[in-house]
Structure formats: C-alpha cells, structure tokens
A and B are shown apart, each in its own frame.
Chain A
Amino acid sequence: QVQLQESGPRLVKPSETLSLTCTVSDGSISSYYWSWLRQPPGKGLEWIAYIFHTGNTNYNPSLKSRVTISMDTPKSQFSLKLSSVTAADTAVYYCAACGGDCYTVDHWGQGTLVTVSS
C-alpha cells in the first residue's frame, strides 16, 4: 500500500506562491504517476496535475498557467507550486498516486488544509 504525506505552509498570503511537498514512504516513487488534487471547504474535488518519473507532466487546463509540478526521485518526493494565489485557492490539498497509465487515482494522502489569507 502506497503511503503519502503532504507537508508545507498551512497559511499563504494572497498573490504569493503556495508550495507543498508529498513524501512517498515505500520507495515506489518510480512506479506510479503522482498527482495533486484539491477540495475547497464544503465543495467538490478538483484534479490539478500529475507527473511521472520520466518527467512526463500534465496539468488541469484551468490552472496550468499558475501550476508547476516537480519530482525529486532520490528524496522520494514530489512537489506542487501554485502562484498568484487568492482566497479561491483555499482548500484541502491532496497528493495521490495512480498506477499504469494514470487512468485512475488509486491512493490518496490524508490531505492538508491550506488557507490563503493576509
């Protein structure tokens, strides 16, 4: 079972960059596609981006201009950067894994609430 843990600042100021890291604990960093998703309080889920260890990435078209996903294979970590944040970016951010060609998001981290506020 893949184990994932999100980490990063829980409070970000408007117009700044949100940065989160996900640590994969079972050494499977090269075996899956790795995704970030989010869920604003009381609202639905939104897929943000994925990355594979080969460097292959894909982004939600509605967020693409502000998002960067990257991976540090030796550290078994992958990261999310979301620039120019506003209150609308306040959400629980989840890191997750999908196997195969990433048709399904299989395994989820516990999520971390990030609040955008001055």
Chain B
Amino acid sequence: QSALTQPASVSGSPGQSITISCTGTSSDVGGYKYVSWYQQYPDNAPKLMIYDVSSRPSGVSNRFSGSKSGNTASLTISGLQAEDEADYYCSSYTSRSTHVFGTGTKVTVL
C-alpha cells in the first residue's frame, strides 16, 4: 500500500486559515468515510484531531475541521495560532482492512 500524498510544508500567519490536502485512491480515501488526521509535536506521540473525515474528538478545538472530495481529504486550521505549529498526518482505512498514513506536512506559523 502506498503512502497518501500530502504537501511537505504549509505556512500561515497567526489568525489566518490554512488547508492541508491528503490524496489517495479509491481503495482508501475515496472509498471510505474513515479518514483521520493527527497532530504530532517533536518527540511526542501523534494526537488524534479528526476522525471519520470531519468528526472531532472531545477536547479538540473547533478551529480544526476536515472534509473530503473524491480521493482527496483536507484538514483546515482556522485562526492559526503559534501552538498549531507541528507535523500533521492523515490516515485512511483501506480496502484490505489496513491503515495507510500520509507523507506528513510540517505546519509553520510565521
């Protein structure tokens, strides 16, 4: 299974909105509503931010939102804050009942 494709980096100024894309195939992103997004700070475990394409776990800021169109999922961070600077990974359930992750995106707050 091939990794999902994400941009290597995305940046924005405080208060702006940014969007991270995650492109897969009809066997993963396009075929299921089970896309997740994770936030990871250096030397820390990933934290679940979005699941089932657009649902937020309890405690996650509503500045984080997810969507999907065809084989591409997206994570939008609104009202960008310094604390949002981290690596972000998408993940999808697949037709083989496995999980595949994205290549990762480094978010920089200017």
Show the binding face of A for B, using Cβ within 8 Å: 35, 44-47, 58-62, 94, 102-111
Q: Are A44 and B104 in contact (CB under 8 A)?
A: yes
One digit per residue, 1 when the CB lies within 8 angstroms of any chain A CB and 0 when it does not, for chain B 68-110 equals: 0000000000000000000001010100111111111000000
Residue of chain A at shortest CB distance from B34: A103
Whether A61 lies near B98 (C-beta < 8 A) is yes
Given contacts A45-B104, A61-B98, 6 further A-B contacts (CB under 8 A): A35-B99, A44-B3, A44-B104, A45-B101, A46-B101, A62-B1
Q: Cβ of A111 and Cβ of B45 under 8 Å apart? A: yes
* Residues of the B chain whose Cβ atoms lie less than 8 Å from the Cβ of A47: 91, 98-101
Asked if A104 and B36 sit within 8 Å, CB to CB, the answer is: yes
Q: Which residues from chain A contact B99 at a C-beta distance below 8 Å?
A: 35, 47, 105
What are some 26 contacts across the A-B interface (CB < 8 A)? A44-B3, A44-B89, A44-B104, A45-B38, A45-B89, A45-B101, A47-B91, A47-B98, A59-B98, A60-B1, A60-B98, A61-B1, A61-B96, A62-B1, A102-B97, A103-B32, A103-B52, A103-B93, A104-B36, A104-B48, A104-B91, A104-B93, A105-B48, A108-B45, A108-B46, A109-B45
Count residues on chain B whose CB falls below 8 Å from chain A CBs. Answer: 25
- Measured between alpha carbons, how far is A80 from B9 in the docked complex, in Å? 33
B64 close to chain A: CB less than 8 A: no
C-alpha gap A60/B99 in the complex (Å): 8
User: CB-CB < 8 A to A104: which residues of B?
Assistant: 34, 36, 48, 51-52, 91, 93
How many angstroms from the CA of A92 to the CA of B48 in the assembled complex?
Answer: 18
Given the complex, which residues of B lie within 8 Å of A111, measured CB to CB?
A: 45
In the complex with contacts A108-B45, A111-B45, A44-B52 CB distance below 8 A? no
Q: Which chain B residue has the least Cβ–Cβ distance from A56? A: B97
A25 to chain B, nearest CB (A): 16
B36: contacting residue among A44, A46, A105, CB under 8 A: A105
Q: How far is the CA of A60 from the CA of B34 in the complex (A)?
A: 17
Closest 3 CB pairs of A and B: A103-B34, A47-B99, A108-B45
Select one of B46, B48, B52, B98 contacting A45, CB under 8 A.
B46
